[in-house]
Structures are given as structure tokens and as C-alpha cells.
């Protein structure tokens, strides 16, 4: 494995499908080490990928010129004064042009940036909505199942209630018949009691009342009674 096959950022083998090459140092970086998301990487054009510069190379390029850099104090050497312009570092034209080319190629179109941001926002919103909907749908399914079970229990109770009503209706009819039979029996008992009284009175009409009957006392008859009277109810 060559040196260029390792990512300078993470020191791991470069991913052959998701990597980007620096246009200056020609080193290959994983998109994670390059600070590029997978969504952004997929949206980059071929020209943008070929003009990408790594952070190390971008840091080497001066951000502004140094014409405003304070100059050092002038010293006299061999009776000649060093002018302030001699203390200013001069950049070669080629290096400045190279910097301008890299900076121009690294510029991103605002519309392209907006599309990336819009896609990231939509993706985040979609994920958030899915995370919210999933527990809600799960709870709704559970509630629906419980409602169905409740309906089944209510239907069973209604059937049992109808059966109880029918049994109560039958019992009411039986009780009513028993009350009628009881009333008839009471009337029969009253009639029978009246008939028994009449029979007893009729049988007493032929009874005899005997008075002064001799009693046996100490094995002997008592003659205290002088007469016997027979009374008849006839």
C-alpha cells in the first residue's frame, strides 16, 4: 500500500468510493476527514471535486497581501539606507495567480448552497416526523385493539343481559301463577273450615247429657245421686 493510499487526516486506507483529491498537494482524503457530508459530496460536480483544496494547502495560501505590514527601522549598511519597500515580502505573480485560481474554483454557487441546505432541512424534518409518527401510530394501534376488545365484552354483556331479562320474565310468570294458586288454596281452606264447623254442629245435635251418674269410690258405688235426667237436644 502506497503513501497516497492512506488518508492524511485519519491515517486509514482511503475509501475508494467516497474520497476527494486535493488540487494542490494531490493527496486523497476521506470525505469525513475533508469535512464533507455524504449528501454534499453527492451533490458536488466533477469540476468542483477536481478543484477542491485541502485545509493544509488552504492555510499555506496567504489570505491577504502584506503591503500594510509594518516595516522595520531603517539601518545604514555601507552608507546605504535600506528603503521600506525592501522589507516587504514580495509574492511572485505565479503564486498569486495560483491562489486566485484556487479561490475562484472553490467558490460555491449560492443557489447550490441553498439547495444543499434545503435538502438537509428536509431530511432532518422527515426524520423528526417519522420519529414522532411511529410512537403515535403504535399507541393508536394499541388503543384500537383495546376498543375492539371492549366492544366484544359489551356485546357479550348485552347477550347475558337479554338472557337475564328473559329469565326474569319467566320467573315473574311463575310467581304470578303461584300467587293465583295460593289464593285458590286459601279459598278452599276457608270453605273446608266452614264445612267442618257445620258438620261438627250437626253431629252435636244428637248428643245426650247425663247427670248424677253413680261414681265408684274406693271400689264402692256412691249413692249420693238420687236421680238421673236425660236431656235431649231434640
Residue entry with cell 499555506:
60
Q: Is the pLDDT of residue 202 over 60?
A: yes
For residues 181 and 31, what is the distance between their CA atoms, to the nearest angstrom? 102
Choosing among 3.30.40.10, 3.40.640.10, 3.90.1300.10, 3.40.50.720, the CATH entry for 1-65+90-107 is 3.30.40.10
- pLDDT band of residue 216 (cuts 50, 70, 90) is low
pTM attached to this predicted model: 0.29
Instruction: Please provide the distance, in angstroms rounded to a whole number, between the alpha carbons at the two ends of the chain.
Output: 155
Contacts of 205 (CB under 8 A, 6+ apart): 233, 234
Q: Is the pLDDT of residue 175 over 80?
A: yes
* Domain boundary assignment for the chain: 1-65+90-107
Sign of the C-alpha dihedral computed for residues 163, 169, 175 and 181 taken in this order: negative
Q: What is the pLDDT of residues 138-165, one digit of tens each?
A: 889 889 889 999 999 999 999 999 999 9
**29 — phi, psi (to 5°)?**
-120, 145
Amino acid at each position: 500500500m502506497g503513501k497516497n493510499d492512506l488518508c492524511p487526516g485519519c491515517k486509514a486506507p482511503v475509501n475508494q468510493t467516497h474520497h476527494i483529491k486535493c488540487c494542490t498537494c494531490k493527496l486523497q482524503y476521506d470525505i469525513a476527514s475533508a469535512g464533507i457530508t455524504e449528501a454534499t459530496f453527492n451533490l458536488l460536480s466533477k469540476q468542483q471535486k477536481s478543484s477542491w483544496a485541502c485545509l493544509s494547502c488552504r492555510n499555506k495560501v496567504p489570505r491577504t497581501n502584506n503591503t500594510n505590514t509594518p516595516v522595520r527601522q531603517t539601518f545604514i549598511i555601507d552608507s546605504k539606507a535600506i528603503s521600506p519597500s525592501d522589507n516587504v515580502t514580495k509574492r511572485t505573480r505565479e503564486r498569486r495567480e495560483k491562489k486566485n485560481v484556487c479561490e475562484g474554483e472553490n467558490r460555491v454557487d449560492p443557489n447550490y448552497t441553498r439547495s444543499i441546505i434545503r435538502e438537509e432541512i428536509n431530511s432532518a424534518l422527515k426524520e423528526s416526523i417519522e420519529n414522532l409518527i411511529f410512537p403515535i401510530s403504535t399507541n393508536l394501534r394499541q388503543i384500537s385493539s383495546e376498543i375492539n376488545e371492549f366492544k366484544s365484552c359489551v356485546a357479550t354483556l348485552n347477550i347475558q343481559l337479554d338472557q337475564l331479562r328473559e329469565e326474569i320474565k319467566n320467573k315473574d310468570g311463575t310467581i304470578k301463577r303461584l300467587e293465583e294458586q295460593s289464593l285458590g288454596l286459601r279459598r278452599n281452606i276457608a270453605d273446608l273450615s266452614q264445612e267442618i264447623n257445620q258438620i261438627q254442629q250437626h253431629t252435636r245435635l244428637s248428643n245426650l247429657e247425663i247427670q248424677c251418674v253413680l261414681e265408684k269410690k274406693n271400689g264402692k258405688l256412691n249413692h249420693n245421686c238420687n236421680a238421673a235426667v236425660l236431656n235431649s237436644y231434640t
